Chain A
Amino acid sequence: SQQGEEDPQALSIQEGENATMNCSYKTSINNLQWYRQNSGRGLVHLILIRSNEREKHSGRLRVTLDTSKKSSSLLITASRAADTASYFCATESGSARQLTFGSGTQLTVLP
């Protein structure tokens, strides 16, 4: 079973626009992480937000976490064509820091 579910499954926007992806999960978590995967490549860590945090920023990325709703959002501002990739949320809830991934959002940024 998957802990995190992303919404939407696919998103297409113009360069310069903002992109928002949402993630919902089912059980209590230690932290929630977002990863990016370019086609045919491994996953790259973007940002981690702990369960006692509500918002975090990193460059053009903004992540929010609402533990009462068991949901998170990833905002990419001023998107670029190079942001085209699949984005995954993952929740950590085990003692060995294992992650449970959602099925991802495919983001396409059109030049």
Chain B
Amino acid sequence: DAGITQSPRHKVTETGTPVTLRCHQTENHRYMYWYRQDPGHGLRLIHYSYGVKDTDKGEVSDGYSVSRSKTEDFLLTLESATSSQTSVYFCATTDSQETQYFGPGTRLLVL
């Protein structure tokens, strides 16, 4: 699992509140990713990072921002949570063999 942890694992919040999800890896992998998984859609890429302070948008980036100030940490922020952002969020990293490793996921419920 490439030593990937996500926190929190579960969160319930109200519409309009800010939410930050944290991804931490111990393998010193350069690339990190945030996905969301919803029924019928598989995984969709939100944002990704190709190095410290180097990030870019994925397929479904609206309403999300990210930051990476250290190699091991990749933060996903919902500036003002909406009910459509209720989902399961997965963090991932890629090793030198291009294999992606996934964290255990964060279940977010926005009421």
Does B74 have its Cβ within 8 Å of any Cβ on chain A? no
The number of residues on chain A lying at the interface, defined by a beta carbon within 8 Å of a beta carbon of chain B, is 25
Chain A CB within 8 A of B100 CB: yes
A42-B105, A97-B94 given; A104·B42 CB < 8 A: yes
A-B pairs with beta carbons under 8 Å apart, 24 shown? A1-B59, A2-B41, A2-B42, A33-B99, A41-B104, A41-B105, A42-B103, A42-B104, A43-B43, A45-B101, A48-B98, A48-B99, A92-B98, A96-B31, A96-B50, A98-B45, A98-B48, A99-B33, A100-B59, A101-B35, A101-B42, A101-B44, A103-B40, A103-B41
Partner of B98, one of A1, A42, A95, A97: A97
A31 to chain B, nearest CB (A): 6
